[in-house]
């Protein structure tokens, strides 16, 4: 039976009566946003299918009914997963099924985790899992915003204790105007790709990549996105009013005031003394000593667990550090609120690398190494939107020794992927175009010491490393991490935060950019949100910090070196006619393989006819170039070429030139004087210089040796006597 193509049957409405479906929809950013619950995944605590345009994501939330005994943290996991069937594709590879999470899946999982994590009750430690699965992708609307909204809706209706809902939005900046949720193809014309998430009252998370935009434009984008997401929050609330499950009854927290007072009396003085030590290693050792002493004091008390003592100590630490900053402005290491730690940038420290830099800021240090490669080294990325190639890569590694610990190595975690991508975004705006710098660029940042914002140290080190490698970046980029301590209406914004200030504070706000503007911004809030006033203060303070860091970086290197390392590959780039590509490659790649094997140079040919020849040996590049030029070049009348005599006849000699081209030098064109015998002038195998006199309709080429000085290759036709006996000059 013939099958009709392109017809889709509507949902059988009669069959849906067995489901208790709740559906809400609004027009948002020019497209329809739909949230539907009660149809799919009904055994999850909360399940919502979120659809925007024709991009659909199934979002589920499930939590354990009880926390594990002595659970010391909130075990929340968020998994965003893309199914290739969503875009009508079959996975590559032998097994033909989705494998480990891609970079996009990992980054989107973090994107959802960061704004929802602060909205669970303090002390809630039941294992909670949020899974978002892309079911359909229209190749226009990125599923990440859809997944974030759906996850918020699933948690809101689940009954799991969650102080939401939240929403998220993407903001573009095109022709001086903010654009809500620009389509993916429109982002190529946008100076900004910013994702903002928050509640109805405040912003919780920002992630962005920008083209050197001002603080004013960036703050306006955050405000615009937060305002435009409010209808989505109202939509989720309306859905919850109809189908939300009864909220969980949480166990009342025990009153441990007496225990807290005992621990305060025993440990406060020692903890305050520890936090006056400005050297991290000394401070960590003293804190460990104090904590061990307190734990030992309660070791025999069966009613007091080790976890409870640890929680009380953490609360005391938090009060000491935060209170000191708010009351006196005194920070752990003695700095003022807006002071950046001492900085030292060093370049060229690895002799064999193409570019290297060691960036040290206080007790945070990044060793950034740049390697230059060819088109063969580009990364192939197989995304739902299709396969594409990336010629700029940045990989961030955080070994345990960087914080003085022993731990697992060789595993790339979500944190490493996230920090590496943030640094990549910060540098992307100033990278040279492939037409100007036809190299594949890979930067590896090895964090060798860490005490606050190693991702921003990576940005600074990577910029210095690329300049050391001779990469013509537009301008240097620096980055700084800002912190926040907020109690009631009182707050303090901290520049260049330490690890402890990040851990015990309320905000991690990273800003990177050049002296012309911001290139990347990432903000995570650990409280229920911050105001526009705080964000503006943080951006202004970050600007001053960035300018200071750029000044310190310039002491090492202020712009790219003009000469690249002798160990870096040299690339010669030129364009050939598209119809000549097949001739250069040869049947089954025979000719291009022969060129590579013979010369030792790498050769890459793009579909548009761009040829790139790479080698650290200039002679190898020239040999490969001459070979290819000989294949594709067309002889020009009046031009002089080097050639080789391939055959001698009574009437003249055949000469091979520019590769496979042959032409005839008639006996009358062999020399200025009369020639009796061709062999008196040339023999097979002789190298000669010839000038093209003409090409007839059949493609036969007439050459002359007579008008070319065989030693210098100069055209001497005007100085010769004519064949009639008089020189042309006469």
Cβ atoms of residues 282 and 274 within 8 Å = no
Q: Quick check: is 53 in a domain?
A: yes
Q: Last residue of a domain, which of 524, 554, 584?
A: 554
Task: Looking at the structure, tell me whether residues 210 and 277 fall in a common domain.
Answer: no
Instruction: Kindly report, residue by residue over 611-645, the tens digit of the pLDDT.
Output: 989 888 888 999 998 889 888 888 888 889 889 99
Asked if residue 163 is part of any domain, the answer here is yes
Q: Give the domain CATH number at 298.
A: 1.10.10.400
Q: Which parts of 189-298 are beta strand (E)?
A: 192-198, 203-213
Same domain, 141 and 234: yes
Asked if 464 and 535 sit in the same domain, the reply is yes
Q: Give the pLDDT confidence of 415-466 residue by residue, as tens digits.
A: 999 999 999 999 999 999 988 898 999 999 999 999 988 999 999 999 999 9
| Domain boundary pick from 554, 585, 609 | 554
| Contact (CB, 8 A) for 400 and 407 | yes
Query: Quick check: 140 and 53 in contact, CB under 8 A?
Result: yes
Write the CATH number for 620.
3.30.1370.10
Give the chain's domain count: 5
- Nearest alpha-carbon partner for 131 in 157, 110, 151, 156: 151
The answer to whether residue 251 sits within a structural domain is: no
- The CATH number given to whatever domain includes residue 697 is 2.40.50.140
Domain presence at residue 402: yes
The reply to whether 181 and 309 lie within a common domain is no
Q: Is residue 134 in some structural domain?
A: yes
The first and second tokens of residue 155, run together, are 């948690």
Give pTM, 2 decimals.
Answer: 0.85
Instruction: Specify whether 626 is located in the same domain as 660.
Output: no
Question: For residue 541, what are its two tokens?
Answer: 């303070």
Q: Which runs of consecutive H residues, i.e. helices, occur in 279-392?
A: 280-297, 306-328
Angle of helix 590-599 versus helix 618-632 axis, rounded to 10: 150
109 and 211 both lie in a single domain: yes
User: Residues 271, 218: one domain?
Assistant: no
pLDDT at residue 594, as a whole number: 92
**Structure token pair of residue 390:** 């990336």
- Rounded Cα–Cα distance for residues 199 and 203 (Å): 6
189 and 45 inside one domain: yes
Residues 478 and 422 in one domain: yes
Helix (H, G, I), strand (E, B) or coil at 437: coil
Supply the pLDDT for residue 729: 44
pLDDT of 81 reads 97
Residue whose token pair is 């391939």: 646
Is residue 729 one of the residues assigned to a domain? no
Same domain, 48 and 106: yes
Nearest of 134, 132, 133, 136 to residue 54 by alpha carbon = 136
Tokens of 645: 């005599």
Q: And the tokens for 347?
A: 């370049």
Beta bridge partners, 480, equal 511
Task: Identify the domain containing residue 444 by its residue range.
Answer: 343-554
Residue 58, phi then psi, degrees to nearest 5: -85, 125
Give 66-97 as a 3 state SS string: CCCCCCCCCCEEEEEEECHHHHCCCCCCCCCC
**Alpha carbon distances (Å) from 164 to 155, 234, 317, 501, 599:** 8, 11, 29, 26, 65
CA angle 196, 130, 26 (to 5 degrees): 50
Residue 231 lies in a domain: yes
Give the bridge partners for 440, in sequence order: 373
d(CA 616, CA 325): 55
Helix (H), strand (E), coil (C) string for 588-606? HHHHHHHHHHHHCCEEEEC
Question: Are 155 and 125 in a shared domain?
Answer: yes
Among the candidates 210, 243, 276, a domain finishes at 243
Asked if residue 333 is part of any domain, the answer here is no
DSSP letter assigned to residue 496: S
User: Which among 293, 298, 304 is positioned nearest to 270, based on CA atoms?
Assistant: 293
Residues 547 and 578 in one domain: no
Whether the CB-CB separation of 126 and 76 falls below 8 Å is answered with: no
Q: What is the mean pLDDT of each run of 10 residues along the chain (730 residues)?
A: 54 72 95 96 97 97 90 91 93 85 95 95 92 96 97 97 95 96 92 96 94 96 96 97 92 78 85 84 87 84 80 85 84 89 96 96 96 88 86 95 87 91 96 90 96 94 97 96 88 90 88 97 84 89 96 95 88 88 90 92 89 88 88 86 91 87 91 90 92 88 92 84 53
CATH, residue 395: 3.30.230.70
């Amino acid at each position: 039976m013939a099958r009709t193509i392109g017809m889709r049957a509507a949902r059988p409405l009669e069959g849906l009566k067995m489901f208790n479906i709740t559906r809400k929809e609004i027009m948002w950013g020019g497209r329809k946003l739909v949230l539907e619950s009660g149809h799919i995944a009904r055994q999850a605590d909360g399940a919502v299918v979120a659809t925007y345009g024709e991009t659909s994501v199934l979002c589920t939330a499930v939590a354990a009914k009880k926390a594990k005994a002595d659970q010391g943290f909130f075990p929340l996991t968020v998994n965003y997963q893309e199914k290739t069937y969503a875009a009508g594709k079959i996975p590559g590879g032998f097994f033909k099924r989705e494998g480990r999470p891609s970079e996009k899946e990992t980054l989107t999982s973090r994107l959802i985790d960061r704004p929802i994590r602060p909205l669970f009750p303090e002390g809630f430690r039941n294992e909670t899992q949020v899974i978002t699965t892309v079911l359909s992708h229209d190749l226009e609307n990125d599923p990440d915003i859809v997944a974030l909204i759906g996850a918020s809706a699933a948690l809101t209706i689940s009954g799991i204790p969650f102080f939401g809902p939240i929403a998220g939005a993407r903001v573009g900046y095109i022709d001086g105007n903010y654009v809500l949720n620009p389509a993916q193809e429109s982002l190529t014309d946008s100076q900004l790709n910013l994702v903002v998430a928050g509640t109805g009252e405040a912003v919780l998370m920002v992630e962005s990549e920008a083209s050197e935009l001002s603080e004013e434009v960036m703050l306006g984008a955050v405000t615009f996105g937060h305002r435009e997401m409010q209808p989505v929050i109202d939509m989720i609330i309306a859905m919850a009013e109809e189908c939300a499950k009864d909220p969980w009854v949480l166990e009342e927290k025990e009153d441990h005031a007496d225990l807290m007072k005992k621990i305060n009396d025993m440990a406060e003085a020692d903890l305050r003394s520890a936090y006056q030590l400005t050297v991290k290693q000394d401070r960590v050792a003293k804190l460990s000593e104090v904590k061990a002493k307190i734990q030992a004091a309660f070791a025999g008390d069966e009613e007091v667990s080790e976890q409870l003592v640890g929680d009380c100590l953490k609360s005391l630490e938090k009060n000491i550090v935060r209170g000191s900053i708010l009351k006196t402005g005194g920070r752990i290491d003695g700095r003022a609120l807006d002071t950046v730690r001492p900085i030292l940038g060093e370049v060229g420290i690895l002799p064999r690398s193409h570019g290297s830099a060691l960036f040290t800021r206080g007790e945070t240090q990044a060793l950034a190494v740049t390697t230059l490669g060819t088109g063969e080294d580009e990364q192939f990325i197989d995304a739902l939107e299709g396969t594409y190639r990336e010629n700029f890569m940045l990989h961030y590694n955080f070994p345990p020794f960087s914080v003085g610990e022993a731990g697992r190595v060789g595993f790339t975690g979500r944190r490493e992927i996230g920090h590496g991508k943030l640094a990549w975004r910060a540098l992307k705006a100033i990278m040279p175009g492939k037409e100007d710098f036809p190299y594949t660029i890979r930067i590896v940042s090895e964090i060798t010491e860490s005490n606050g914002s190693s991702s921003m140290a990576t940005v600074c080190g990577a910029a210095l490393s690329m300049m050391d490698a001779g990469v013509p970046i537009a301008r240097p980029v620096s980055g700084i991490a800002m912190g926040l301590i907020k109690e009631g209406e009182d707050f303090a914004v901290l520049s260049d935060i330490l690890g402890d200030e990040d851990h015990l504070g309320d905000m991690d706000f990273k800003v990177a950019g050049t002296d012309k503007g911001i290139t990347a911004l990432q903000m995570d809030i650990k409280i229920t949100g911050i105001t526009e006033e705080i964000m503006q203060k943080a951006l202004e303070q970050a600007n001053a910090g960035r300018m200071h860091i750029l000044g310190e970086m310039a002491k090492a290197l202020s712009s790219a070196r003009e000469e690249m390392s002798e160990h870096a590959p040299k690339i010669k780039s030129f364009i050939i006619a598209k119809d000549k590509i097949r001739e250069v490659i040869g049947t089954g790649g025979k000719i291009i393989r022969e060129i590579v094997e013979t010369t030792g140079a790498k050769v890459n040919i793009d579909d548009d006819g761009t040829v790139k020849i790479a080698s650290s040996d200039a002679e190898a590049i020239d040999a490969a170039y001459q070979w290819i030029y000989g294949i594709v070049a067309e002889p020009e009348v009046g031009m002089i070429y080097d050639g080789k005599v391939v055959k001698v006849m009574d009437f003249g000699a055949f000469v091979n030139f520019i590769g496979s081209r042959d032409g005839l030098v008639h006996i009358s064109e062999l020399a200025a004087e009369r020639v009796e015998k061709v062999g008196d002038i040339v023999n097979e195998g002789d190298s000669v210089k010839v000038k093209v006199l003409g090409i007839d309709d059949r493609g036969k080429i007439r050459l002359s040796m007579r008008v070319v000085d065989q030693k210098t290759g100069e055209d001497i036709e005007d100085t010769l006597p004519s064949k009639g006996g008089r020189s042309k000059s006469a």
